[in-house]
Homo-oligomer: A and B are copies of this chain.
């Protein structure tokens, strides 16, 4: 999947991503990067609203799994089940969320489970980055259901 294709999909089917002006920077098998500007995501302290930070982290993780499952040719329904987020530093401008699998070595086994049982749990990590610094960390458990 191309970055502009995913961006169009997000803006069409998740209107909040359009309001946040989320863009898709890169899609690699092992990492996916989203970016957003400050203005539509600002809070009263002139930094990025915690809700936008958490949303970007969750969305990057969801997008990584969504594109990987698409590449496997598995039609799927993908939902977040549990998440934890550390907000380490304020973000005062354009920021990124970089998602990767927590245990990429389990992927082949997880795809087998999804095919056999129609359902699998997968954990994804996202880090938030602003001005060359890590400003937050997210860990989310997702459930993929075979459509």
Contact = CB atoms under 8 A, between A and B. Distances in A.
Interface residues of A, number: 36
B51 A59 contact: yes
B79 A16 contact: no
Contacts of A54: 51, 54-55, 58, 83
B79 A86 contact: no
A106 interface: no
A86 B77 contact: no
Contacts of A73: none
A23 interface: no
A54 to B, nearest CB: 5
Contacts of A49: 14, 16
Contacts of A39: 15
A95 interface: no
17 contacts: A13-B42, A14-B42, A14-B43, A14-B44, A15-B39, A15-B41, A16-B16, A16-B49, A16-B51, A16-B52, A51-B54, A51-B55, A51-B58, A80-B87, A81-B87, A82-B85, A83-B87
